[in-house]
Every structure is written in structure tokens, then in C-alpha cells.
Structure 1
Amino acid sequence: MNSDMKLSVAPMLDWTDRHCRSFHRVMSARTLLYTEMVTAPALVRGGALHLLDFDLAEAPVALQLGGSDARELAQAARMGEQAGYDEINLNLGCPSDRVQSGRFGAVLMREPELVADCLSQMRDAVSIPVTAKCRIGVDDQVPEEVLPAFLEALRGAGITHVTVHARKAWLQGLSPKENRDIPPLDYALVQAMKREFPDMHLSINGGIATLDAAEEQLAAGMDGVMIGRAAYHQPADILLDADRRIFGEESEPLEAREVVARMRPYIARHLEAGGRLHQVTRHMLGLFAGKPGARGWRRVLSEGAAGKGAGLEVLDAALEPVSIEI
């Protein structure tokens, strides 16, 4: 496994689209980025190949798939490899009702043999890494019993890289949003799994909101750290210095203003192709989070970018309230 798996931005539905990834890539060359979850049926049966669209400039990028039909997942994995993705990841952690009804996501933690078959066939179908993302358990399962057995099943299927969201998923009674906050975090259990499975590359996810916290997890023995909402809402805090602090690069981090400047050509191409400004800039609202002028930046950008014909002049106007460089 490559060292770029030391830090990743979590797959997040409606958030980590190709525009978001292009924005994040400007800030960090090394952090592994993920697509939104794409269901295997949508690709194989629905022919929704546009869901695979991405720019090679975003690389390294992992395609996250959802599904429970092994042959279908294998075919979708092949499609992802042909599209140029660096990794195929199977979603075993999403708790939403829609996902459950399709028999994929966290509900599959109840069926480790099925999961192992799916992953084994996916591995056989491609030459790029196949990985998984799971919870520590679901519902009434006892994580201390279920998680090691689940990891054993994954290892038996030849899976060497797993990201563990250090919370249970409650499939009944909690919304997906509540499932990200209410079940208690158990970092100690995930760290114990790394000691129990030293041959596996284990990344930890859930509630990690700073680079300091990421470094603490790596120092505790984890192979990698996945950050979700913090990387989206405060991207500069997480990504601008990630290459230096996490990966040991010597280059100085960009300033947030420079990130905006480097996004201009990308946005211009998007507009020339008929795209709308807000499709890109909605992901940039948190760039100056916590800094002077951040509120004005967000206001001008959120109000102006959605307008018909909005162009780069809105981006320039949004920069005016930002009073200092960071």
C-alpha cells in the first residue's frame, strides 16, 4: 500500500464530487481523496457512467462502491479501474435507510461471508487495490467480538487495507446524521485491532477534526487517518499543511488566497463548458473558516454564485472581505 493512505478525505454523499476533489487537490498533493459512494447497480444495470467522471489531475482518487452482488461489484470495479481510479473501496459503513433497502452499507456487517465473497471477486477482477470501510459493529452487536471476526473475514478475502469508523451504526432509530454523532467513539478498540492485525493497513475515522488529532492517531500506531466533515468545512486547517506534517514534504504550504487563484483556471473551464459557478464554489465556502473576512466570503459567494450567468467576478468580490492572507 502506498504512503498516501496515511491521510484521506472521507467519501461524503453530495459533497465529495469531482469539483470538491479538484479543490482539495490544490491544497494537498498527497492526501488520498474518495468519490461519493456509487452503487454498483447504477453502473452495471443503470449505465450511469457519468458517475465515474473525474479528472486525472485529482489523483490519487479512490472509487467507493456500494452493493452486495459479488458479480455486479466485480464488474463495477473493472469499470472503475478502466476509468483510471487508483483504488476501489467497498462501503460497509453507511447506515441510511435507502442503503439498507439496497442491502449494502453497514447492514452487511451482519453478513461477513457475503462481504468476503464480494471483496474476493472484486480483487480478482482488477489489478488496483481493493479496500473496505466499515463500522465497529451495528445495533446490538458487541464490537469487541464482531470487529476482530469481521477483520479476519476481510483478511481471509485478501483485503489488506480497511478504514474503520470508530462508532457503531444503529440501523433503526437513528438518522444517518445522528449515526455520525450519537454512538460513542471507541478509538481504543480500533487501535487494539491494529495490534491484533499488524499485517493489515488500518486507518481510523470518526470525530477526527484537526491535524494534531490525526498525528496523535498515527503516533498511537494507526497506519492512516480518514477525516470527513472537518476537511470539508475547514479545508485549509486540514489540507494546506498536510503534505508537510503528515507526509514529510519540505515545500511550504499555500496560503488560502493562493488556493483561490489556482482554482480560477479550473472554474473558467467549467463555466466555458456550460457549468454553473456554484457547482464549484459551494465546496469553497469554508476556505477561510475562522479567519477575518470569512463571513463576508461565504455570504458573497453563496448569494452570488447561484445567479444565472455568475462568473469569476463573483469570486473576486467574495475575496474583498478577506482582510489578511493566511
Structure 2
Amino acid sequence: MSTTAAPVARAAGPAVGARGASPARGRRRGSRGNRPRGHGTRTLLGAVAVAVALVWAFPVYWMVNSALLSNVQLQSLTPTFTPFGGSLDNFTAVISGSSFLTALRVSLLVSLVTVAAALVLAFLSALAISRFRFRGRKSFIVAVLVVQMLPAEGLFIAQYKLVGSLNLLNTVLGVSIIYIAAVVPFTIWMLRGFVAGVPIELEEAAMVDGLGRTQAFLRITLPLLAPGLVASGVYAFLQAWNEFTVALVLMQTADMQTLPIWLRTFLQSSAARETDWGQVMAASTLIAVPVIVFFLLVQSRMTSGLVAGAVKG
């Protein structure tokens, strides 16, 4: 009896194993079947991303395209979507104007002064908040937040009277002081996060190896904080470069206009002279393109610096 049951059991064994293996095969087949579906989803998301990017980039393309066309083409009822047959006459007219180089010089000076002063003040403040415990620390942090909540428009009268009392109206220093005060609070918060992300134990280890506190900070901590300084500098530069309302209030003479204020002069039309939209687009391109190129260059360096700092840490 037992001898006959054994072959039956052995014969049933492979059958049971085969049944047990079939769900795994089914799952493997199912997973293979899901791959095309996942690939199709990724393709659809990629197509949506490309469409969104094209919508975002179209205004920039239209600005550059219009800068290369004549006023006759721009005023035509049939839009011209390609710059074929265009010229650089609008750019030549804008650059050869007497006020473009002056406005460019003023904008560069204001932006560079704002970036330098904001980085120094914000960097020292971020170090003090992150590395030291002192009386009034929490009050200082709350004050920084409150300053960020104040609307800029509500401060125009006070800022104008302040700058006027210092005899700094229509000067680079006067408008730079206002820009620095507006940029520093947010820059402090940006740098505070970077400073808090660098362990103080790195400096202590360097001091154990024989370096002084200043040397340890300059050789160990400062290189790791370079990406944060670059990011904060980009933010301060863009804010100072593109600001319009404060410059409109404080810079009232023609020889002390920043580029956004200078661009407004192209939109002043009268019954005898219509707005030259080709030159408007050319001027807008001259203002925007250098900033975009600068931002892209600094962004690549900032990203590489972040990765290098993470590997070294």
C-alpha cells in the first residue's frame, strides 16, 4: 500500500510545483506587460513638459523675433513668426543712442554695489544667527521676518525723504542703500540655511590639526559656503537689475536712469510720433539677454559647487 502511494506522491509533486510556479510566471508576464504602459506614461509626461517649455519660451522668442523685424512687418495684420529677412537695424539704433550706455553704466554700478554690500552684511548676520547664542537673537530673527512682510509701496515716501535728507537723490549710492535694505533680509535667510548645513565640527577638527580659528574658517567653511554666496549674489543682482519703482522715484534726471527706467522712454508716444516697437523689443532683448546668460553661467558653477561640497563633506 505504501509502495504504491510513494510513486503517486512523487508524480503529484511536480504537478504541484508546476501549479505553484505558474503565478510567478504570470506575475513576470504581467510585469513585462506593464513596461510599455510605464514607457507610454513617461512619453506623455515628456511631451507635456516640452509643450509647457515651449509656451514658457515663446514670449522670449517673440521678443527676439520682433527685434529683428521692421515696423512695417510688426504693424501688419499678418504676424511674422520667423525672423527670416530681418536685420539688426533696431539693435544698432538702440545702441547708438546717447542714453543707452549711460543707463547701462548706472545699472551696473547699482547692481554691483548692492550685491557686494548685501553679501557682506547678510553673510555676517547669517554667521551670527547660526553659530552664536546671544541676547536678542530671537528678536533679531523676528525683525528680519517682519521687514520681509512690509509692502514696498508703503515705504516710498519715507525712503524718498530719507534719501533726500542725505542729499543722495539721483545718485548711485542713494538708490543702492534702498536696494541693500530691501535685499538683505531675504539674503540672510538664504545664507542662514547654508551656514547651518555646514557642521561646526569641521572647523573644530581643523583647529585640532593646528589651524587657527580664522584659518579654519577660510580654508574649510568658506569654500563649502561658496554655493550659498553665489545663489544669494544672483538673487541680489536680479533684484537690483530689474527693479523699477524705487528707481523711478529716486532717479529723476535723464543722466541717472537705470535700464528699466530708460526702457520706459521708448513707450512715450504722441500724435506726431508712434511707438517704435521694433526698438522697444531690441532694447528689451539687450536688457534681458545678458542677465539670462549671466544667470545660466553662475547656475552651472553653483550646481557643481554644491555637488563638490557634498562629496568633500
More helix by proportion, 1 or 2?
2
Highest RCO, 1 vs 2 (Cα 8 Å, sep ≥ 6): 2
More strand by proportion, 1 or 2?
1
TM-score bucket of the superposed structures, by smaller chain: under 0.3
TM-score by length of 2: 0.22
Which has the greater radius of gyration? 2
TM-score by length of 1: 0.22
